[in-house]
Structure 1
């Protein structure tokens, strides 16, 4: 059975992670999260934290 999880941040789908033999691998679904593409994480929570960090680093629109 395949272990895969969707990573969502603030109603945005950042990507999915898929379990392989020793880690969870990230697959980006939005350009903002492309820097995480292929990266390995120990847990789904670690992947979510990394995606949240990317989103928080992004400049907020003024207006």
Structure 2
């Protein structure tokens, strides 16, 4: 059985994923990743990719 995994993006603890029958549910640990709260991903790797993409989109908006 799988256990909870930490999701890190660029040395930031974005949250954790917890195994469920349908995948891995994301729980945000950092406010920048609350948009992913409660989403279910196929794997911890998919959650990490989405968290990285979210951070990249947020950084893109902040630049002039």
**TM superposition score category, shorter chain reference:** 0.7 to 0.9
The unaligned stretches of length 5 or more in structure 1 are none
Asked if 1:3 corresponds to 2:3, the answer is yes
Say what the alpha-carbon RMSD is for the aligned residues: 1.7
Cα distance in 1 for partners of 2:55, 2:11 equals 12
Normalising by structure 1, report the TM-score.
0.88
Structure 1 residue ranges (4+ consecutive) displaced by more than 6 angstroms after TM superposition: none
Total equivalences in the alignment: 62
The unaligned stretches of length 5 or more in structure 2 are none
Where 1:3 maps in the other structure, the secondary structure is coil
Normalising by structure 2, report the TM-score.
0.86
Cα distance in 1 for partners of 2:18, 2:30 equals 16
Where 1:47 maps in the other structure, the secondary structure is helix
